[in-house]
Amino acid sequence: MTTIADILNLPRYSDLRLLTNVGQTDTDQTVQSVEISETPDIEYYIPNGVLLLTTAMSYADDQQGLISLIDSLIRAKAVGLGIKTGRFLGEIEPQIIEYAEKVNFPLIEIPNNYSLGSLLHQLLNQIWGTRYEEISFALDIQKKFFNLLLQNATNQIIINKLSQIVKTPIILLNPFKEIMEYSKHFNHSSNPVQHYVNQIIQKIHETNKEDDSFIIHSPKGHEIQISLVPIQVHSHFPHYLVVVNPEQIPYPISSFAIDQAAMVLSFVLFKNEKVSESQQSIATEYFKELIDYHSSSDPSVRSFELNMKYGYLLSDYYQVVHVFSQAALEDTAPSLNQEERLILASQWLQKHIPDYFTNGLVLFFSVTKETIILIQREAPDLDEKLLAIRTQLNDSLNIELIFSIGNPYTDWKRINQSYIEAKLVFDERKSKLQTQPIIHYKDKGMVQLFHHLEKNDVRFFCENILKDFAYPKDPALIELRKTLSVYLGAQCEIASAASTLFVHRNTVKYRILRCEEILGHAVNSPSHSLNLRLALALSEEDL
């Protein structure tokens, strides 16, 4: 690595003069390249780490313009500005030097006897001579890590090896910013790795940058610089290599070496994901077979056994939860970004589902990008746990999951029935664009028989039976309709209906009397109650 300080300390450049005070400007930044330009808008055409050489001819009559140039070079992450004096500028004005010191930007005076072209080539030779050693070392590292790849080394071995080479602590994070592996530096209880990761997540949230350097604090309160290196396993959601104290990495180890290690690590992570996907696809294919076999009406086909090795459990409780994103309710094909979110959401569920459901099983359909959760132990707080999962993944991936749930069954041979119900719920919510986070399957019974009738005929039936309660808009009628529905559902028991509605018994009595006045008959007579319940169920779908 070559810095401005290194260049100025070389005897051959002794006549180059640093105009800004050493204590006031940063001369220890690495010079990545050298450019010559007289263009005021040069910031749009240079890479990071440039030392810019110029005669400043554009500023001969107005040196104040150099302040804007310095600001633009800082935005472009240049490391310094060298100005050749004598031809266009006699001397650089003191206020320009004072401003450079104020913004911590090195300003170098180049004597008139220098050819900027010759100086450019000399400096590049100096930089690239150093770079050759760095590149050679980086290639050696690449060879070591590819050997680890061929030896099927684990992530832990690779992280420890990289940490040993760069002589600084290393942490590997997954796309959810969760810890996958970390070097031995964090094994001591007084130096917990989660302490660092919590601060990194907070910094990312505050700055909205995921490929930058941050200052965080050690458990003892000391300032520590960390660098985040994205590792591209997915296009939009990378893993992260966290390098602690990158400024202390000894020469000739450089960003080249870190990049080489990150590239090899991306291959390892990609390979591990594909192996996991292959194992997952076997379990998913078995689930498809289980569904197909037990949906068959052929007794000879239905001789299927539950295979325990895929995570299935002999239990008296089975319930299927269909998981997809809210964006899937639209008819447009999901983008690559959305597909990656669904894949990662499934991976997160596979890892964390035991935290929510004991013996829960996660299955992913790679073609449709749908996920199935098979619950194999009764979960009384099912909805609360699903909402907690939804919140967690919304925070981590900015994805809004929706859950369509089939009925629970006591026999594993009826898992297919719960699955069919969950899919029916999803298909119905998709056709009606229902965006509620959780919808349970409800057995429609006789209502199902009316689905093939003309909609106008169904509407006429409902209006004829329910009168003003068929499709009410008035709040008072809506409240009476609700009371009527609950009352009939409670088998016309006033006490039970009052308890469900959280009102007094007399309130229920009064409301039912009002309903009977509007309907023109008693609601609890067998000749009317069946039609009333059926009409309420049919009209519910269009409210």
Q: Is the pLDDT of residue 300 over 70?
A: no
Q: Structure pTM?
A: 0.59
**CA gap 230, 236 in Å, rounded:** 11
Predicted confidence at residue 278, as pLDDT, reads 85
- If we measure between CA atoms, which residue out of 255, 229, 289 comes closest to residue 49? 255
pLDDT the model gives residue 344: 92
Integer Cα distance of 244 and 168 in angstroms: 6
The hierarchical CATH code for the domain 4-114 is 3.40.1390.20
pLDDT-derived band at 419, boundaries 50, 70, 90 = very high
Is the pLDDT higher at 351 or at 305? 351
d(CA 354, CA 236): 27
pLDDT of residue 494: 92
User: How do 80-84 and 239-244 pair as beta strands?
Assistant: unpaired
Domain ranges, ordered by start, for the chain = 4-114, 134-270, 298-443, 449-539
> What is residue 334's predicted lDDT score, i.e. its pLDDT?
64
Q: In 3-state terms, the chain is what percent helix, strand and coil (to 5)?
A: 55, 15, 35
- Segment 40-68 mean pLDDT: 90
Region 88-110: mean pLDDT is: 91
pLDDT in tens, 354-389: 999 988 999 999 888 899 999 999 988 999 999 999
pLDDT band at 276 (very low <50, low <70, confident <90, very high): confident
Asked if the model's pLDDT at residue 297 lies above 80, the reply is no
CA separation (Å) from 474 to 470, 479, 503?
Answer: 12, 9, 20
pLDDT tops 50 at residue 529: yes
Query: Edge-to-edge, what's the strand order for the sheet holding 179-182?
Result: 179-182, 170-173, 239-244, 223-231, 213-217
Q: For position 301, what pLDDT does the model report?
A: 45
Q: What is the mean pLDDT of residues 69-87?
A: 92
Residue 182: phi, psi to the nearest 5? -155, 160
The mean pLDDT value of the chain amounts to 85
Fold type of domain 449-539: Arc Repressor Mutant, subunit A (1.10.10)
Higher pLDDT pick, 3 / 247? 3
- What does the pLDDT read at residue 105? 93
Q: Is the omega angle on the peptide bond into residue 230 within 30 degrees of 0, that is, cis?
A: no
**pLDDT score of 264:** 81
Asked whether the predicted pLDDT for residue 171 surpasses 90, the reply is yes
- Residue 339's closest CA among 324, 353, 349? 324
pLDDT at 155 over 50: yes
pLDDT digits (tens, 9 = 90+) for 450-484: 666 778 888 888 899 999 999 999 999 999 999 99
CATH architecture for residues 298-443:
2-Layer Sandwich (3.30)
Q: Are strands 107-110 and 401-405 parallel, antiparallel or unpaired?
A: unpaired
Per-residue pLDDT at 130 exceeds 70:
no
Between the alpha carbon of residue 318 and those of residues 360, 375, 419, 443, 448, the distances in Å are 10, 6, 10, 17, 25
Q: What is the pLDDT of residue 211?
A: 57
Q: Is the pLDDT of residue 447 over 70?
A: no
The fold of 134-270 is Beta-Lactamase (3.30.450)
Over range 308-326, report the average pLDDT: 88
Residue 210 confidence class, pLDDT cut points 50, 70, 90: low
Q: What would the mean pLDDT of 402-427 be, rounded to a whole number? A: 89
For the segment 344-348, the average pLDDT, to the nearest whole number, is: 92
- On whether the CB atoms of residues 16 and 110 are closer than 8 A, the answer is yes
